[in-house]
Structure formats: structure tokens, C-alpha cells
Structure 1
Amino acid sequence: MRVLFAALAAHGHVHPSIPLAIAARRAGHEVLFAAGPRFLPVLRSAGLDATPAGMELPDALDVVLSRDGASLGRDEVLGRMIGEILPHRWATDLAPLVASFRPDLIVRDAGTLGAGLAGRVAGIPVLCHGFGRVSADPIGAAMVAAFTACAAGFGVPGLTVLTGEPFLDVCPESVQAKDFLARDGRIPLRPVAWSQPGPVPGWLRERDRARPLVYVTLGTAYADAELLRTAVLATAAVAVDVVVATGPAVSPAELGALPDSVRVSPWLPQARLWRHVDLVVHHGGSGTMLGAFAAGVPQLVLPQGSDQFANAEAVHAAGAGARLLGADADRDAITGRVRDLLADEAARTAAGRLAAEIAAMPSPADLAARLPELAR
């Protein structure tokens, strides 16, 4: 069977779909992954055939701003970007690819609405691959209106964002939004952390395990050098070792002088880091949240935007960590929460329960074996 995967050009959209794509290839299916050009080397490093499609999110935003941004509020701008500009480009790019590759099934990430539209136009079954907890979004109404109009332009009137496609849900049920759990077509899928191939630093394997290790990251999209430095220094004020991944938005040099207990890198193989970590301080991105859940690692969440606030609430409500919002995330507060969480057996127990729940979810290999059935 031929399976076409598609994901927006962002780490939080591409990476969650890679384990299923790998499992599908190992199951004998012919797999092609469509994504933004800068992610093609990432996909090929995973052994996947990859082809360019879609556009970068900043480019899509520029289109809306240059065309009608002056007359729109923030939510309308983002709604048109996600509901019109990106889907139109994706549906346009995928039309010839669908004709040449002739997929039996399209697996699109939840943000790639245009891939679902391309499947609907071509009469090909589509699965929607989630990337985290489903939460209400203030841009929702604008996005739905924009996408419905976009779909009508491709000859599919009345199509909405939720098109009835089966949804591969990588969020454990206990922390998923309750109203979403009630919808038809939800298929649980174990979230599997994936990182580009790369070694774990030698010092990490050789360090004194008697000292707790705290991992600090603010991800790839909302990282801020000032907040990251505050979080690192606050964490280092506790008697711990600290490992920091700055991500592409912050250079290690921007953090300035740091204590000897802190190791900084632009990038770390996060999927292989979890078994070394006692606590993670992070931004609330879905990939980091789910990776920590799967590893049973307590979390301190400092949300900055998008779905991160809902994720922070989910961590807090599950008892698997704590959150600090806005101005409350100062150095003293972070130090106090880090110290408390490292000693909090209840948080570690709650994180362990989530790890067990995730381990019991169907694996990517299990779902890959079901793809022919789901394509009918």
C-alpha cells in the first residue's frame, strides 16, 4: 500500500508523525513524506523518502499581512494564515503529487488542513495525526470560516476543519480534553519521542547520578533568551546539574556566564535524554510534555503561547508537575518550584502513572498493521 504523510514545516508537527511513518515503511508499505524543504534532511535521516510541499509559516503570515493585515486583528490574521493561505498552498502542491504517487491513504498532521482537502478532492481516505492535547483556540472561528471558503474554492463546499477523518490521538486519555474524547473516530496512538540521530554527550553518561539532573528548554518556536537565562540560573540555584537545549531561536552565547553545574547545547537528542532526567523545566510544547509523560518525568511548565497554556494546565491537573504563568515565573519562584518538585513523591508517582498509561497505548507498529483496514 502507498501512504502519503504530510506535515507543516515545524518541529512540533513533523516529528510526531515520524514514528508512524517509520513503522509503516517497516511494515512493507511504500511511504512518501511531504513537508517543507528544510525538513527534508530530517526525514531522510530517519530513512524516509521525502518531497517538498507547502510553505513556511512565516511566509504564510507575510502573505496575510501584506494583503489585508492592516484591517484585521491578531486572531483573524492567524485564522486566515492557518485556514486559507497554508491549506491553499498545500492542496495546490499535493494535487500533482497525488496524481503521480497515487497514494491509497493520506496521513496528515492536525495542522495540515490542505492535505486533508487534497485527499477529499482526489477521493483518497485521510487520517488526521494529532500532535498533542486538543484545546480550544481563540483563532478557531476565523480559521473555520477561512478554511470553509478555501475548500469551496477547490469544489468541496461545506467542508469544515473537522472533516470527519479518523483522528490518531497521541495524547493519553486521562489528560485529553473531555469534550474531544466524546467525538467519533478517535484512535489512540502511543506518542513516541523522536530526535534526529546524534550521540548523547559523554559527560551525561559519566556524571554523578547522586546529583539530580534537570533539563531546561523553551523549545523551537517561543524561546526567549531572557526567560531562558532566568530559568537556567533559577534551576542552578538548587544543588543539581542542569542541561540546557537552547533551540534555534537562542544562541548559547546569549545566556552569558553560567555556573559550572550547567551544560548548554544548541541541540540535544531529546528522545534519548529522558532516561537521564529527574525533572524538566520547559515551555509547555506538546512534544516535550508528552515525552516527559512517557518517561515518567515531573515537569515545571512556563507557557509562552499557543497550546502551551492548556498543556501547562493539563500537567498541573494531572498532579505530574507545576506551572508558573507570566510575571509569576521569576527567579525565586522557579527555584522554589524546582526544589519542591524534586522532593515531591506525589508528582513523581503521578508522572509514573502517565508513563504506564502511555506504555499501554497501541504502538506505531500496531497502527501500521491497521493502515490497510483504515484506508477502506
Structure 2
Amino acid sequence: MDRHLAFVNVPGHGHVNPTLPVVAELVRRGWRVSYATHERFTRAVEDAGATLIPTQTDMPVPPRLTDFDPDRFAGLLEQFVSDARVDVPRLEAHFRQDPPQAVCYGRMSLTGRVLAGRLGLADVALVPVLASNEQFSPFGGFASSIFGPDQPALRRARQAMQDFAAEQGLGPQAHPMTGPPASLNIVFVPREFQPAADTFDERFRFVGPAPGRREDDPGWRPPPGGAPVLFISLGTAFNNRPDFFRMCLDAFGDGPWQVAMAVGERVDPGELGPVPPNVEVRPYFPQPTVLRHAGAFVSHAGMNSTMESLYYAVPLVTAPQMPEQEANARRVEELGLGRRLVPDDLTPQRLRAAVDEVAADERIRANLAAMRTSIREAGGAVAAADAIEERLAADP
């Protein structure tokens, strides 16, 4: 029998990157993996040993946070539906000709969830965020927490998703963010980080993060001289924040930190003003490589960034921008792994003080060491591959 798996994912770095070490481990074990996502990820997918199946779905360029209104958010959900209407029949035709044994899909991928149902295959959800079950969801009230209740545009978007799920023979609750859980859910956080962890049953495997080959990227080396490294990044989505990056230059431009600051592709470094000699500015850095050498991380608290920071026991100073990031930031602070700052109250002085405090706090260091141990014991890509193979052995 051809050992073939289909992976289907939304084309976001925070969604694709956590899965690639799992793909590489499965390929090492003799599996053939077809990975359906946008062609922008061709190189990353092929480097993991999989074959890219290009999809129409692409992430829109995010607006500035001040422009992120109910209509824009509803438009994003409706785009998931319109893309799924194109991608599901194309992928179904492809995988009926080249059958996999299971569909492993990103938690946010409506296309992947529907495809598994259409093909009648084992479904494996790849969860790069806090997990949801029948008792707990970090996404409860997600949209209303941003925009307030009873938004007509959001009602329309939810109805479109329910209608599409019903057309495809799925239950009306087949929502990419809220459930229901798949028969197997690979969660890329350790159980110790998951709220309400005792409510999650054997359907959920908390394997934690695994950086894979990304931690050996030769594209960055620590500066000579042994000065402490500070990494600053707002991720790959809502990073069009020249005001924030100017604040960081004001906060850290006089040393002693050697700063690696990732500003994304939509910020022109020239508009930031003079860059001090102890600060290196790039659109992106190889994040795991930098974090291996970092003494602190100023982050938006996206889950992928949070987990990679904890993997290397780097204390966090978080400036969350979205409800999901806020949940992560509060969890970081609750577990004594760093500090959460309120973005509206940020000043260069407060930012500098928070970084210096977390870097020197022995209690935070001890908590980080314990969390790093939990993460390494969770098993990462090897545990994820084990769980997938066990699921298929139970229901071949």
C-alpha cells in the first residue's frame, strides 16, 4: 500500500511552519506527503520533503489595526468560503486520483475540514493555537470581543459558512475556528500551557513546538563580543506599525542590547529615522536561529512566536494586538514566563524597563526552564507522527 498523506492548510507562516517538522518526520518514516497550500510556500514544503499542491486560497494583505472593522473581518471569513468553493472540488478530484490515507488539515482550513468529509477519510486537525473542545474555547466570542455583539456582516459570514458546510454534507457547526474537534487533534503547545487542560481527552495530543531545520538557518549570526541579544517582531500579519518600531529604536538605541528587529514587508526602514549602530533592521529574521541566542523577546504573542520563545527559554515581553494574542499574553504572564504590556500605554521607558526586568528575573528564568523541559518532553514532531500513525492503525 502506498503510504500517502494529504496536508491542507491556510497560507500563513504561523499555520504552516509548525507543521513542517511533522511532515519531515513522516517523510523520514517512509510516508509520501502532498501538501495543499498557496504556492508561496513551495520552497518550505519541498524542503520538508513534501509535494506542493497549489491552492487558490491566499491570505489577504491585512489592514492596519485601526482599519480592522466588522466588514473586513466578515470579508475574511467569506473569502474562506469562496476559496473553499474553488479548492474543494479541485483537491477532491486530485486526491480521488491519488488517494491519501488521511487528511491532516490546519485548524483554520475550511477547505481541509470539508475535504476530509468529502473523501470519507480519517481527519487530523493541526492546531497551532490554544485548543478548543466542548467545554473550552479561546475563540468564544472572538468577533464580538473585537466589534461588539450583533454585527450584521458577521451574521452573514457565519451563515455563509454554515450553508457551505451543509451543502457538503457536514454539520452546520463545521466552523474552522470553533469546532467540532477532529477525531485526532495535534496541538502544537504543551499541555502545561493549555488552559482547562484537564478537560481534553485522548482525541487531543499536546506535542508542543519543534523548530526543525529552521533553527540552523545560516542567514543570521549573533554579533561578536557577547553582548545580550534582544529580538523584536510583530509577526507576519499585523506588523505595519512604524510607530511601534520607532518606539523600539528610542527604547533600545543606546545599548547594551544588540537588537535584531523584524519590521515586515510593509514598513520602509527609511521611514523609521536614524537606526542606531546596535540595531539591525530587516523585513524578517530566521526566528528560531535568533531566539537560540536571545536574552529577551519583544513579541505580539502570536502562538508560533510564543512557543518558539518558550522552546528556547527566552523571556517574553508581549504587546498583543488581537484577542487570540491577548489570550496568549495573559497565559504567559499567568505562568510567570514574561510580562504583558498594554499597547495603548506603551512608552519607550516602559518598554525598556519591562525588557530589563524579565531578563534579570530569576523566578521567570526558573519558570522558563521548567516550561522548556515540558516542551521537550511533549515530543514535538516525533510525537505528532506517532499519533498520526496510531490513528491510522486504529482505523486503517
Structure-1-length-normalised TM-score: 0.88
Give the corresponding residue for 1:150.
Answer: 164
CA pair 338-197 structure 1, distance change in 2 beyond 3 A: closer
Q: Which residue of 2 aligns with 1:214?
A: 230
Q: Which residue of 2 aligns with 1:38?
A: 40
Does the 8 A contact of 2:35 with 2:51 survive in 1?
yes
Q: Per-residue deviation at 1:351? A: 1.4
Deviates further, 295-304 or 149-158? 149-158
CA distance in 1, matches of 2:251, 2:62: 37
> Partners of 2:271 and 2:97 in 1: how far apart?
47
**Is the 1:221–1:249 Cα contact (8 Å) retained in structure 2?**
no
Which residue of structure 2 lines up, in the alignment, with residue 64 of structure 1? none
Q: Give me the whole-angstrom Cα distance separating, in 2, the residues matched to 1:189 and 1:347.
A: 23
Over aligned residue pairs, what C-alpha RMSD do you find? 2.6
Change (3 A) 1:56 1:180: farther
1:120 is matched with which residue: 117, 123, 136? 117
| 2:253 aligned with 1:236 | yes
Q: Aligned AA for 2:231?
A: Y
- SS state at 1:13 partner: helix
Q: 1:80 aligns with which of 74, 78, 87?
A: 78
Q: 1:59 to 1:316 in 2, by over 3 A?
A: closer
Q: Distance in 1 between matches of 2:379 and 2:159?
A: 35
The answer on whether the counterparts of 1:222 and 1:305 sit within 8 Å (CA) in structure 2 is no
Does the CA contact (< 8 Å) of 1:76 and 1:139 recur in 2? no
What aligned pairs does 1:132-151 form with structure 2 within 5 A after superposition? Answer: 132-134=129-131, 135-136=138-139, 137-139=141-143, 142=155, 145-151=159-165
Distance across 2 between alignment mates of 1:12 and 1:99: 29
Q: What is the distance in 1 between the residues matched to 2:8 and 2:19?
A: 9
The DSSP-based 3-state class of the residue aligned with 1:58 is coil
Cα deviation digits, residues 22-47 of structure 1 (max 9, x gap): 11101101111111121112222333
Q: Is the 8 A contact 1:217 1:228 kept in 2?
A: no
Check 1:98–1:163 CA distance in 2 against 1; reply closer, same or farther (3 A cut). farther
User: Cα gap change, 1:73/1:197 in structure 2, threshold over 3 Å: closer, same or farther?
Assistant: same
Q: Is the Cα contact below 8 Å between 1:168 and 1:186 reproduced in 2?
A: yes
Go from structure 1 to structure 2 and tell me whether the alpha carbon gap of 1:261 and 1:7 turns closer, same or farther (over 3 Å shift): same
Partner of 2:194: 176
Amino acid at match of 1:138: F
Once residues 247 and 62 of structure 2 are traced to their aligned partners in structure 1, the CA distance between those partners, rounded to angstroms, is 32
SS in 2 for 1:127: strand
Go from structure 1 to structure 2 and tell me whether the alpha carbon gap of 1:322 and 1:274 turns closer, same or farther (over 3 Å shift). same
Deviation at 1:254, TM superposition (A): 3.2
Please point out which of 98, 101, 105 is paired with 1:104. 101
CA distance in 2, matches of 1:104, 1:254: 51
Change (3 A) 1:201 1:73: closer
Taking only the aligned residue pairs, the percentage that are identical comes to 22
Matching residue's letter, 2:287:
Q
Confirm whether residue 58 of structure 1 aligns to residue 75 of structure 2. Answer: no
> Which amino acid is the alignment partner of residue 354 of structure 1?
M
- Distance in 2, matches of 1:94 and 1:197, equals 34
Per the alignment, residue 356 of structure 2 pairs with 339
Instruction: Indicate how the Cα distance of structure 1 residues 320 and 75 shifts in structure 2: closer, same or farther if over 3 A, else same.
Output: same
- How big is each residue's C-alpha offset from its partner over 1:236-269, in whole Å with a ceiling of 9 and x where there is no partner? 3452111112222323333321211111222221
Q: Is the 8 A contact 2:8 2:36 kept in 1?
A: yes
Q: What does residue range 237-252 of structure 1 map to in structure 2 within 5 Å?
A: 237=254, 239-252=256-269
Q: Deviation digits for residues 210-237 of structure 1, max 9, x if unmatched?
A: x321111111101112212212431334
Q: Per-residue deviation at 1:338?
A: 1.3
Structure 2 gaps of 5+ residues are 64-68, 132-137, 145-153
Which stretch of the first structure deviates more once superposed, 158-167 or 14-23?
Answer: 158-167
